[in-house]
Structure 1
């Protein structure tokens, strides 16, 4: 059950967001963070390596993340790299989590304006923290010296105040080119707050099994994440087949995931698992600009079977003459989502 108490001024998510963004973190030193907690009216408890701030909020207490093994190379004097405050207790199913995140995002956006950064952390959150099985959406109001992030937490959405440089340095350093070194997707807009924002390099899927895994992870969580973020992704995928690079798939996802297949007639799409509009009537109005014969309705939050979908896409690409994963290309138009420029780091595919 969602126990978010957004109706009271003292406990609203919007009010908390304003207070966190205006707070002085004191360089994230122990003294500075204790002063921040006192200014917020929170009591300091726990141990030095597991400090907890007693907030009195219905959704639970705040957590501080001290600098440890994974954080130390990214800091410059900070003793802590984030303060996470739960804002709702939510049932564990994907639909409930997505709805609660979306509600919190809309409330904070109304208070602070559009976030400057949106995305999904993928299977690795900041400083190698594990994400949630249903999805890892986030939005950020980037600032200096601190950034406020709304993140998918263990029991529901959390507001996370963090020093900007350590988190961004960690992300930038993951661009080492190794397979799966970065997951999820990352989008930024033209907000002045993004001046100086750095972008890591990506990686390339070097085998079909690697691509199958990356597609499975992406598709499994996609409708939950797009629902939570309030966005619609339209991603054409082109396949080099020795004769050209025609449109092969169209992945469209808002509150549901639908995929179209445009393979040539020599590919037995039905045998590979594709259906028609008669079998997937919910897709009838999704592919506005084209009329694909072959399609699949993969469902809403929590419903897609990512591995099965990924295996179907890979098998279809091979049957269509795509020789290797690097011959599957994300259409450049997929990079533009609701005013944000998005990079799909977790897929390991080229964009063109």
Structure 2
């Protein structure tokens, strides 16, 4: 069977013919795959064990974002895995290594969060993606329902959809989006964000973010360091340090007038694995949330919100993502899904 790396090379080199019906027929022929209609829509018989490739025709949710295309993507399943978070993250990581070896470092990386392109729902374990942006087409490695998929798509419709989500309403964009200085990103547009208007919203967005984070960082092969500052009448001191690679740990720098233990924070004695991240006494208070599938996102979010409020942060806009978190490896990352200011 053709390797994933070779398949990625062929998809990048393929001629989609403007994603018209005739162009897609020629694309299928050029790839050596049989195009057939099924009750679920058009598919291409790839002969791969992971299953048929799916074509996504332009429909109600896509039509306003296209410019003459009849299809907006060809999704090719490349590996299946057990449905648990750890297995899915490991499968994505394996494919990422193969595709990166074949195509080089992706120009874009991130997470679709709970809302994928054209309003598709994300995967419960996490929705990481990598993109090799091109013109007129882009190749994306995406978390699919049963395992990672290579998705060939016309560049403009997907980016037009993403750009138009920046309407300022709560939850209008989820996930996070990182781009590097690759020349392929010339002309890349970025939507506006949105701002959380209540602590309930912050709790929800933090829960979604933290619950999937170690699975996504494992899949993407990144290490994320994210400080949170709290604006109070004493300035904006550092409150939390979120660190995640293959597991998630959160440190708390609590002011002297609150009791972190009563809120649910532990020390290195309760969380000995955090000693590899921080020294024994700085920060004193911490939580080891575990690896893929282990973090209890809602509980962690409630802990952070309760601590921030106890420290004197009076409103959601007072909880600030440190600007240091905007730089992950060579990527500049925007955390759209949190709804929190960055500074």
Same fold (TM over 0.5): yes
Give 1:279 shift.
0.2
Aligned with 1:296 (options 276, 287, 295): 287
Q: Which residue of 1 is the match for residue 310 of structure 2?
A: 319
1:224 is matched with 215
| SS class of match (1:181) | coil
Alignment of 1:252-263 (within 5 A): 252-263=243-254
Q: Report deviation, 1:241.
A: 1.1
Unpaired segments ≥5 residues, structure 1: 1-9
- Partner of 1:346, secondary structure, is helix
Aligned to 1:90: 81
Calculate the TM-score normalised by the size of structure 1. Answer: 0.96
Which of residues 214, 217, 240 is equivalent to 2:205? 214
Partners of 2:268 and 2:280 within 8 A in 1: no
Match of 2:274 in 1: 283
Q: Residues of 2 paired with 1:67 and 1:268: CA distance?
A: 55
The 1-side partners of 2:38 and 2:67 are apart by: 23
Shift of 1:165: 0.3
1:239–1:167 Cα change, 3 Å: same
The separation in 2 between residues aligned to 1:159 and 1:194, in whole angstroms, is: 20
Query: Is the alpha carbon distance of 1:197 and 1:289 closer, same or farther for their aligned partners in structure 2, counting shifts above 3 Å?
Result: farther
- Please tell me whether the aligned partners of residues 49 and 66 of structure 1 are also in contact (alpha carbons under 8 angstroms): no
Of 334, 337, 344 in structure 1, the residue corresponding to residue 325 of structure 2 is 334
Shift, 1:119, TM fit:
0.1
Pairs within 5 Å for 1:240-255? 240-255=231-246
Cα offsets for 1:175-205 (capped at 9, x unmatched): 0000011001000000000000000000000
Query: 1:47 deviation in Å?
Result: 4.6
Following TM superposition, by how much is the alpha carbon of 1:290 offset from its aligned partner in structure 2, in angstroms? 7.8
Aligned partners of 1:208 and 1:324 also within 8 Å? yes
Q: Tell me, in whole angstroms, the C-alpha distance in 2 between the residues paired with 1:47 and 1:61.
A: 11
Q: Matches of 2:316 and 2:280 in 1, distance apart? A: 26
Q: CA deviation at 1:287?
A: 2.7
- Whether 2:132 is the aligned partner of 1:141: answer yes
User: In the TM superposition, what whole-angstrom CA distance separates every residue of 1:112-156 from its partner, at most 9, and x where no partner exists?
Assistant: 000000000000000000111000000000000000000000110
Distance in 1 (alpha carbons) for counterparts of 2:43 and 2:183: 34
What's the secondary structure of 1:295's corresponding residue? strand
Between 291-300 and 49-58, the greater mean CA deviation after superposition: 49-58
Q: Deviations over 1:266-323 (max 9, x none)?
A: 1110011100000000001213698101000000000000000000000000000000
Instruction: Write the deviation string for residues 7-27 of structure 1: whole angstroms up to 9, x where unpaired.
Output: xxx421001100000000000
SS at match of 1:210: helix
TM-score, length-scaled by structure 2? 0.98
Distance 1:255 1:268, change over 3 A: same
Contact 2:215 2:293 in 1 (8 A): yes
The match for 1:99 is: 90
1:186-197 counterparts in 2 under 5 A?
186-197=177-188
Q: Distance in 2 between matches of 1:346 and 1:337?
A: 17
Q: Deviations over 1:233-285 (max 9, x none)?
A: 00000001111000000000000000000011111100111000000000012
Structure-2 separation of matches of 1:287 and 1:241: 25
What does 1:108-147 align with in structure 2 at a 5 Å threshold? 108-147=99-138
After the TM superposition, which segments of 4 or more aligned residues of structure 1 sit over 6 Å from their partners?
Answer: none
Distance of 1:257 and 1:210 partners within structure 2: 22
Are residue 185 (structure 1) and residue 176 (structure 2) matched? yes
Q: Which residue of 1 aligns with 2:227?
A: 236
- Deviations along 1:12-54, one digit per CA (max 9) or x if unpaired, are 1001100000000000001100111111111111159710111
Q: Matched residues in 2 for 1:351 and 1:288: separation?
A: 27
Distance 1:345 1:38 in 2: 39
- Aligned match for 1:59, one of 50, 56, 59: 50
**Number of aligned pairs?**
343
